[in-house]
Amino acid sequence: MEALLKIADNFALGTLPVPEHPDDTIGQDESRIHEDTNAAASSPSASSSIEQRLEDEIRLRQFTENVLDSRQQELEAQEATNRELAAKVEELKRELASTQEQLAEARGQARAKGKKLSDARDQIFRLQPTRKDVTETEAVEGFRGLCSNVQRWVENRMKPILDDLDVGKLRARAPSTAGATRLTSFMREAARRGMHIDQSDIYHVTAVVMNYLSLVFFSKSFYSPLDDYEGDATLTFLNELELSMSRLPRGKKMPIKAICRPTVLVFGGDVEVAVKPTVLGWLWEGSAQTGRETPTRPTATRSKSFWASVMF
């Protein structure tokens, strides 16, 4: 009986020895159990003690099994938590890899844009021409050339218009109010008093062109933007002016002298001035200036001092 209790204790504690020959041990245990049973049958107190110990052993085994089951549940719950955390870690790794790829792509685009910007800036500076400062002599020569080109351009453009004026065709049609108003607005007050003088149209138009160029270009700083009345009208006007001047033939020089300082156009001497219908008078009558006082017609004779005040 004692051998049976010892075996039960070892089994409960998990220290049950493994015999080298299990069959021999089983036979020995069975013989001992029979011996203990026979001994217990002969002693009632020993039998009750064995039953008590068996009950205690059963309760201990049940408690141990409950503890093991609880521990197993905890382990399973921990393994499930570990699996969830591992899945989250993998997902975060994938997101990190995607973010790193996007960052690398953004850095590449930023470098490419920076290179394009640098190339564009270098290209702009390479395209800018290097110019020397214009000397006073060069400026005077350039201004004289400008006056000659303007005069030649006006002469060629005004020739068919003056022919229409002589044959009476010009008076038969009305001028553009907007164009006439704009052209006459560039005339000085002294020039308006002489707009009805015969053969004065070329000089008046030349003075208008030079006055316009003076207001738009020469009266401003070099870097000042151009005033534009109607969108790109100024740029278009200058392009057309340059194109038409480049195509004009060389004309004969008139008895007019261009003087840069002060800028005036004068006759070579005193002349008789005849008052007749002129293109400027026709434009004045067709412009929005008609509501103003009509300029006084000059007398038949004017000296060169009058022309000096009229033109500029």
Mean pLDDT of 146-157: 89
pLDDT number for residue 304: 37
Residue 66 covered by a domain: no
How much is the CA Rg of the chain, to the nearest whole Å? 59
Element of type H or E holding 220: none
pLDDT, tens digit (0-9, with 9 covering 90-100), for 154-191: 888 888 888 888 888 877 777 777 877 888 888 888 77
Look up the domain containing 181 and give its range.
137-311
Backbone φ, ψ for residue 258 (5° rounding): -95, 125
Mean pLDDT of 145-150: 89
Cα distance between residue 108 and residue 102, in whole Å: 10
Output the average pLDDT for the chain: 71
Higher pLDDT, 261 or 48: 48
pLDDT number for residue 73: 92
Report residue 282 as tokens.
Answer: 């026709």
pLDDT number for residue 88: 94
pLDDT number for residue 89: 94
Residue 129: pLDDT band with limits 50, 70, 90: low
pLDDT number for residue 302: 40
Longest dimension (CA), the chain: 176
pLDDT number for residue 309: 37
Q: DSSP labels for 285-296?
A: HHSGGGGSPPPP
Residue 195 covered by a domain: yes
Residue 8 covered by a domain: no
pLDDT number for residue 95: 94
Residue 193 covered by a domain: yes
Cα distance between residue 153 and residue 250, in whole Å: 10
Q: What ranges in the chain are assigned the alpha helix state H?
A: 2-13, 22-42, 44-127, 136-167, 177-185, 189-192, 201-213, 233-247, 279-286, 304-311
Residue 51 covered by a domain: no
Residue 57 covered by a domain: no
Burial class (CB in 10 A: 0-12, 13-18, 19+), 311: buried
Q: How many CA atoms lie within 13 A of 153 on its CB side?
A: 21
Residue 105 covered by a domain: no
Q: Using the 8-state DSSP alphabet, how is residue 216 labeled?
A: I
Residue 283 covered by a domain: yes
Mean pLDDT of 297-302: 42
Number of domains in the chain: 1
- The top-scoring range by mean pLDDT among 57-66, 180-189, 197-206 is 57-66
- C-alpha distance across the termini of the chain, in Å: 147
Report residue 25 as tokens.
Answer: 């041990």
